[in-house]
Each structure stands twice: as structure tokens, then as C-alpha cells.
Amino acid sequence: MASKRVFVVFVLPIIFSLIIGSVVLGGILQKPDRELNMWPMSTEHGISHNLAIEIIGLSKQYSTTEPVEIQVQVNDSSFSCGDLYITIYASGKNEVITQGGFFEQCMASGNKIIPVDEQFSETIKTPGSYEIVVEMVSKQLKNISTKGTFTVK
């Protein structure tokens, strides 16, 4: 009799939870443009809405003579200093077009805009669709990132 109680109280709820969880997850992943992202840091479309770090000044479209100039705003108070990496990829490919590193960026009190006293500016001469990824890595190796997309015509 005790083994039936153990089965009903402990084992049966685990089995039902796994079945229901699998059905729900399977249904969600069947929707278009959905993927299983275990570490959600950003989205694929336009500028992501990661509140810890944001891209400032990114336009949706540039000409081949116009430089891509951005700044980054860090809203996470646990990041007082860190290294900033900005990488531009050809959209849909893992081909790096350009990368910039700004080391030991410390946010002054009240100013959370980086790079401090520097500027990321890059002119892309080949028309196409591009993705820009911004990542901030703290001295404790904690990182936050976001990305955005733009086109060059």
C-alpha cells in the first residue's frame, strides 16, 4: 500500500510534468521565427531590448560613404568598469567585417555612455545587410551583450 502512495504522490506528478512541459515546449517551437535560446541576451530583429546594455545611434540604413558611428549605454549597475567589444558581421553569415575593442572602460558617476573619450566609427563599402554585436566584459568576467541590424546601400 505504501508503494502505491509513493508512486501517486511522487512519481506520477513528475511524469505528468515532463509530458505537459514537452507538449508546451514543442508547441512553442513549432511557431515561425521561434528558437530555443537557453541564454537569452538579445533578439534577431533590429536593436535588441536587453535593458542592461543598449546601442545608441545605430541607424537602420547607411550609404557606402557614411560611417557607422555608435555609442553604448550600460544600465547594469554591477558594471563599473570593463572591456567593450564591438563587432560587425555580414548578416546571415559568421563572417567578421570589422571589430573594435575599447579596454578598461569605466563609467563616470552618472555617465553610462561608452566608449569614454573615444568613438567607434567604421565605414562599410560593400552594400548588404549587417549585424552589429556589442559586448561588455567586466573584470570579474561577467558579460552582457546586445545586437542590432542595419543595411548599407
CATH number assigned to the domain covering 53-152: 2.60.40.2550
Model pTM above 0.85: no
HEC profile of 60-110? CEECCCCEEEEEEEECCCCCCEEEEEEEEEECCCCCEEEEEEEEEEECCCC
Residue-wise pLDDT tens digits, 105-137: 887 666 678 887 788 889 999 999 999 999 988
Tally of CB atoms within 10 A around 83: 15
Domain limits, the chain:
1-36, 53-152
Residue-wise pLDDT tens digits, 86-105: 999 988 778 899 999 988 88
